[in-house]
A and B are shown apart, each in its own frame.
Chain A
Amino acid sequence: MSGWETVIGLEIHAQLATRSKIFSGASSAYGAAPNTQACLVDLGYPGVLPVLNAEAVRMAVRFGTAIGARIARQSVFARKNYFYPDLPKGYQISQYELPIVAHGAIDIVLDDGSVKRVGVTRAHLEEDAGKSLHEGLPGVTGIDLNRAGTPLLEIVSEPQLRSAKEAVAYMKKVHTLVRYLEICDGNMQEGSFRCDANVSVRPKGSDKLGTRAEIKNVNSFRFVEKAIQYEVTRQIELIESGGTVVQETRLYDPDKGETRSMRSKEEANDYRYFPDPDLLPLTLDEEYIEAVGAQLPELPDAKAARLVAQYGLPAYDAGVLTASRELADYYEAVARAVPSQPKLAANWVMGDLSAALNKEGLDIGAGRMPAERLAGLLTRIVDETISGKIAKEVFEAMWASGDSADRVIEAKGLKQITDGAAIERAIEEVMAKNPAQLAEYRAGKDKLFGFFVGQVMKATGGKANPAQLNELLKKKLPG
């Protein structure tokens, strides 16, 4: 692979979280019975006219402002002409020469911790197409037009991504951003957030772009990574064995883990765009743009920087905790309740809690472990009622029962032993039971200190206060 540079640009389609469609008053809710949310405008009946949804415009401006892009004072809707049964009008209303958002940038964090700025060429408003269904319909294709007319924001990056990993990091960042902005639910299974990847390779040092293949409609982060990796290897092997890459659309097959040619783009690509005569240019004034900008929430990068400054967290932790607004809010609620130990709170949220949520496929917002309940557990670690190790056991019981930390500690008798005399007694018993080890230790085998810690912990059911135990052992063992 060395000797080659990968060049990737992503086109991300984010379905905007409006109630109604971009040009009609039909509902855009997911999952309704086929064609029950497809009105005459969506069906492309003669004589109907599109009327633009104000909320879709506001959401596009919100996104543009968040990525520091230029918001067009005037943008134009154009018809993209092609024939397909899930596109009843014979054209998709999109934006071509004058998109609503242009020239923005998004920062991603690379594996080595450095920050890379990725240019966003443009983001434009358009309507989604319907769905074609083939299964269980021998000889025919079934068309469901519920999705037709759902507002999409197509976010087009510069070809500045240099690996599958960078592409995924960028896609995740856009995903985080649209959810922070509450303009897209980000549900990839339902197709609310999907992406096309333009992939090409070129000899290292070359500044000329190679011929690209476009991988269509990938709807998971893992598949994007795998599809790009496969495609890069395919192109390099093809060129090295004397072949040439053809410009084409390819589909990723997750079952086989490969991309395959869908159709040659040369012919299909002739979309004959022209301004849609049914729609006037969209004009936005300063006042409107400023008002939308003033309503932006704290964005992920700003939030992460604040978590570092306010709670002294490492940048890595801040990045993980700001992956979603809900997670960051949860963390802050815990950290506020345990103000002396913000890092401990971060470790628990990113560690045991996230693991438990992942295991059951739950979201932080599901409310399975309210922030105050986790904070209750951490408070007992901080005030030394329990050790960090026992806390894990308490957490598991809390997770299973929904009880508070105090109730679990009480019911299971897990309160830490901080009574020095009791710990001393336990130490003496262990020393008496293990004379051989004691003799070795006294003869200079320092490593056995750990053995005694373990034995006393075992004897006290793990409840001895670790700091006290260490101190007392150091005093008692030498004799």
Chain B
Amino acid sequence: MYDFCTDFRFLDGTLMALTRAQVESIAHLARLELEPAEIPAFQDKLSRIVDFIGELERADTSGVAPMAHPLSGLSQRLRPDAVTEGDGRELYQRNAPQVASGLYLVPKVIE
């Protein structure tokens, strides 16, 4: 899990403001392009969000079992293994900006 609470906290538990580099890194992971002038504002806003979530860190959760989902006690429903979807390509590709020979086209990806 991505642990903002420990990543951005000093050892004594007090909040550490996000650095410029951390904001740039988060923006990159989210593929968001930020203007350099916008970054200080995001440092401040994101730090406050992290601090808000950090409230949970201060709650006493000893004796509380971790939950993977808020609907506790319910289990994933299963679906029988049957093909229920036909070929909808023609319809779906009407939404695509560019297609050729049945393929969705995107800007060249180079490894």
A34 touches B101 (CB 8 A): yes
Interface size in chain A (residues, C-beta < 8 A): 58
Chain B CB within 8 A of A26 CB:
yes
Beyond contacts A35-B89, A40-B88, A51-B78: 19 other A-B pairs, Cβ-Cβ < 8 A, are A19-B81, A36-B89, A37-B87, A51-B77, A52-B78, A52-B79, A53-B81, A54-B79, A54-B81, A77-B76, A85-B104, A96-B1, A139-B108, A140-B98, A141-B106, A141-B107, A141-B109, A280-B76, A282-B76
Chain B stretch 72-111: residues in CB contact (< 8 A) with chain A: 74-85, 87-89, 92-93, 98, 100-109, 111
A20 touches B81 (CB 8 A): yes
CB-CB < 8 A to B103: which residues of A?
34-35, 133, 137, 142-144
A274 touches B82 (CB 8 A): no
Chain B CB within 8 A of A275 CB:
yes
Interface size in chain B (residues, C-beta < 8 A): 36
> Do A54 and B104 contact each other (CB < 8 Å), given the known contacts A27-B83, A37-B87, A280-B71?
no
CB-CB < 8 A to B58: which residues of A?
none
B84 touches A142 (CB 8 A): no
A53 touches B78 (CB 8 A): yes
Chain B CB within 8 A of A55 CB:
yes
Which A residues lie at the B interface, using CB under 8 A? 18-20, 24-27, 33-40, 43, 51-57, 74, 76-77, 81, 83-85, 96-98, 132-134, 137, 139-145, 251, 262-263, 270, 272-275, 277, 279-283
What are the 10 tightest A-B residue pairs by CB atom distance, in nearest-first order?
A: A25-B84, A142-B103, A55-B81, A283-B75, A54-B78, A34-B102, A39-B85, A272-B2, A36-B87, A76-B68
A-B contact pairs, 13 of them (CB 8 A): A19-B83, A20-B85, A25-B82, A27-B85, A34-B101, A74-B68, A84-B109, A140-B105, A143-B103, A274-B2, A280-B69, A280-B75, A281-B68
Chain A CB within 8 A of B41 CB:
no
> Do A142 and B79 contact each other (CB < 8 Å), given the known contacts A273-B2, A280-B71?
no
B79 touches A275 (CB 8 A): no
Which B residues lie at the A interface, using CB under 8 A? 1-2, 29, 31, 68-69, 71, 74-85, 87-89, 92-93, 98, 100-109, 111
Q: How many A-B residue pairs have CB under 8 A?
A: 133
CB-CB < 8 A to A24: which residues of B?
85
B76 touches A142 (CB 8 A): no
Q: Give chain A nearest CB distance to B16 CB in angstroms.
A: 19
Secondary structure of the B side of the interface?
loop
Highest count of chain B CB atoms <10 Å: which of A34, A74, A83, A134:
A34
CB-CB < 8 A to A56: which residues of B?
81
A35 touches B79 (CB 8 A): no
A83 touches B82 (CB 8 A): no
Out of A36, A85, A277, A283, which one reaches B109, CB within 8 Å? A85
B68 touches A51 (CB 8 A): no
B76 touches A279 (CB 8 A): yes
CB-CB < 8 A to B71: which residues of A?
280
> Do A35 and B93 contact each other (CB < 8 Å), given the known contacts A24-B85, A52-B76, A55-B81?
yes
CA distance A275 to B104 in the complex (A): 29
Out of B1, B29, B84, which one reaches A270, CB within 8 Å? B29
**Nearest neighbor of A82 in chain B, beta-carbon distance:** B29
CB-CB < 8 A to B80: which residues of A?
54-55
Q: Give chain A nearest CB distance to B10 CB in angstroms.
A: 22
Q: Give chain A nearest CB distance to B97 CB in angstroms.
A: 11
A25 touches B79 (CB 8 A): yes
**Nearest neighbor of B75 in chain A, beta-carbon distance:** A283
CB-CB < 8 A to B75: which residues of A?
280-283
> Do A20 and B82 contact each other (CB < 8 Å), given the known contacts A35-B89, A76-B68, A142-B101?
yes
CA distance A273 to B75 in the complex (A): 21
A19 touches B79 (CB 8 A): no
CA distance A18 to B79 in the complex (A): 12
CB-CB < 8 A to A43: which residues of B?
92
A137 touches B100 (CB 8 A): yes
CB-CB < 8 A to B100: which residues of A?
137, 142
Out of B29, B69, B111, which one reaches A281, CB within 8 Å? B69
CA distance A283 to B98 in the complex (A): 42
B106 touches A85 (CB 8 A): yes
CA distance A54 to B76 in the complex (A): 10
CB-CB < 8 A to A39: which residues of B?
85, 88
A18 touches B87 (CB 8 A): no
Q: Give chain B nearest CB distance to A277 CB in angstroms.
A: 7
**Nearest neighbor of A27 in chain B, beta-carbon distance:** B83
CB-CB < 8 A to A142: which residues of B?
100-101, 103-105
